Amino acid sequence: MKMTFIAAALATTLLAAPAFADCAADLAKATEALKTIKLDEANATKAKDLTDKANAALAASDEAACTASSKELLTLLGM
């Protein structure tokens, strides 16, 4: 029973890692794009909020929130 639990926990961790890598990669791509893309004040504020949300979710290991925020940010940037 103990080995089954350990195997399940390990599998969950290994399967979640690529999703967080995608989120981190998307966030890095968006951050790099923000250096060159000119946004109006409203969109710049929204981009900052989405970046902050994605970073907080990444730090909290909240895969769904990180992915949602980073995808919305990329859409806002036209990527």
pLDDT at 35 over 70: yes
pLDDT at 34: 87
pLDDT at 64 over 70: yes
pLDDT band of residue 42 (cuts 50, 70, 90) is very high
pLDDT band of residue 58 (cuts 50, 70, 90) is confident
Contacts of residue 10, defined as CB under 8 A and 6 or more positions apart, other chains included, come to: none
Mean pLDDT of 5-27: 56
Question: Model-level pTM?
Answer: 0.71
Distance CA 13, CA 22 (A): 15
pLDDT at 55 over 50: yes
